[in-house]
Chains A and B, each alone.
Chain A
């Protein structure tokens, strides 16, 4: 553990890094089935307020990743179904997502994955962060996933529709949130479509019943840079952690407009996450 210089500094360390560069290898089960848990750290060195999850070194195939805590054989999922859809250059690309989740000191941290391709591998490392300023305002106790499609290791498909530069219909991520959320996270993916053309989307997020969605986020950009990468970016960095409170029991949906009308390339997958 790296101790920072000032006593006022938050603590910070990395879990899962096996050598100077490489992360812990996760192996998927049979197609679209979660594989075995792989330990990242046997005991968290301090109470963690946030985790920066880095996923990479995987073949170009859609995956869902769980982060869990607990002893061997009794892991409990704390971050479910993190969507990971590396593109054509998936061999080294590293995607990171930020999770303001509070985990107690001494907990064992592990991860597992599923992939549309059976037995596919990938790597994971986690930065464990203490937050002195945000401890009582930002970190959550529970995370639920909305719209994960475990049958194909993807997410909910969002279709902007065939009319260029026009918001399409709302796609439901969840019919009812399980608890009050202080923030939400959104991870876009390619939905197993690789060989894409360049495309950009303006995305809205809304809550409420069908036909009466109220906007939470408006015209947020996501981008596919084309077949050289075949990735939908930006991956969920802090900028995609939306600090918008969402009540329990509400429907969450997403819609988009796109710069292309190609029936395959205008689509994208998304998984949403509610953070308590």
Chain B
């Protein structure tokens, strides 16, 4: 039986009604180094069972962000999820990467964000953190622990995937992680790898697990596309979707591309597993 709703079930945190804006965090002036934490909300209003994070940056500089969501008091933030990728092709497009994670966040929690970029100039990243109230109909998946695979913080990149030189033919498997924790749901981020002069291409992408040479497909034919006008990879985020990947599994990815240009056929990926 459905209960009558009498209260807000979904709420963006840190909203500034005076400017119709949401919180930002500034990257440091040292490339590939996380900046300081910026508070999103001092105290969450109720127990949450899931969180959506839309991250974006309206600056026209071609760059990549890797963003962390943290929980805890000032000076003692603990990372809930690390290295959420935002790749900007330099069009000034305040792109949306709407990450979604089914994780419990207790009432009264302080949430904060921090970011790093691939440049030596400080850039703001905006994070719209939307909480979903506990007791809703999302199935609770495991412990809510989120692990990031394939990120390269030292270069502010993901793992580069090369479909190979034969158009419309799946290329070789590329390792994303040598060994993962138990994964019950997965979200995949895709980006243009800093390439800001792309052709209009399409891809289909497979995610697999298993040792090199014996990969078994977990997710097949995920479609991606690029457009020469925006130089982005769409869909920038895939999932989350329910999977079962045993602890200790090797994670790999391969792709087919409609074109064969040595630069334009490449894309980056980072995987986020929920245990």
Residues of A contacting B132 in the complex (Cβ-Cβ under 8 angstroms): 242-243
Task: Identify A125's interface contact among B8, B92, B223, CB under 8 A.
Answer: B223
Residues of A contacting B52 in the complex (Cβ-Cβ under 8 angstroms): 239
Given A14-B221, A183-B137, decide whether A221 and B227 contact each other with a Cβ distance below 8 A: no
Asked whether B200 lies within 8 Å of A165 as measured between CB atoms, the reply is no
Instruction: Please measure, in the bound complex, the distance between the C-alpha atom of A8 and the C-alpha atom of B220, giving whole angstroms.
Output: 18
Chain A residue nearest in CB terms to B246? A6
Asked whether A92 lies within 8 Å of B56 as measured between CB atoms, the reply is no
Asked whether A223 lies within 8 Å of B94 as measured between CB atoms, the reply is yes
Given A94-B234, A198-B58, decide whether A4 and B5 contact each other with a Cβ distance below 8 A: no
Q: What's the least CB distance linking B249 to chain A, in Å? A: 8
Residues 47-62 of chain A, each 1 if its beta carbon lies under 8 Å from chain B, else 0: 0000010101000000
The number of inter-chain residue pairs (CB within 8 angstroms) is 194
B12 at the A/B interface (Cβ < 8 Å)? Answer: yes
Asked whether B15 lies within 8 Å of A21 as measured between CB atoms, the reply is no
Residues 244-255 of chain B, each 1 if its beta carbon lies under 8 Å from chain A, else 0: 101000000000
Residues of A contacting B244 in the complex (Cβ-Cβ under 8 angstroms): 4-6, 8-10
Residues of A contacting B234 in the complex (Cβ-Cβ under 8 angstroms): 92-94
Instruction: Please measure, in the bound complex, the distance between the C-alpha atom of A246 and the C-alpha atom of B3, giving whole angstroms.
Output: 8
Q: Which residues 168-210 of A have a CB within 8 angstroms of B? A: 180-183, 198, 200-202, 205, 207
Asked whether A129 lies within 8 Å of B100 as measured between CB atoms, the reply is no
Asked whether B21 lies within 8 Å of A243 as measured between CB atoms, the reply is no
Q: How many residues of chain B have a CB within 8 Å of chain A? A: 70
Task: Identify A94's interface contact among B92, B168, B225, CB under 8 A.
Answer: B225
B81 at the A/B interface (Cβ < 8 Å)? Answer: no
Asked whether B223 lies within 8 Å of A237 as measured between CB atoms, the reply is no
Binding site for A on B (CB under 8 A): 2-12, 15, 17-22, 52, 54, 56, 58, 91-96, 98, 100, 128, 130, 132, 136-139, 141, 168, 184, 200, 202-204, 209-210, 216-221, 223, 225-227, 229-230, 234-235, 237, 239-244, 246, 256, 258
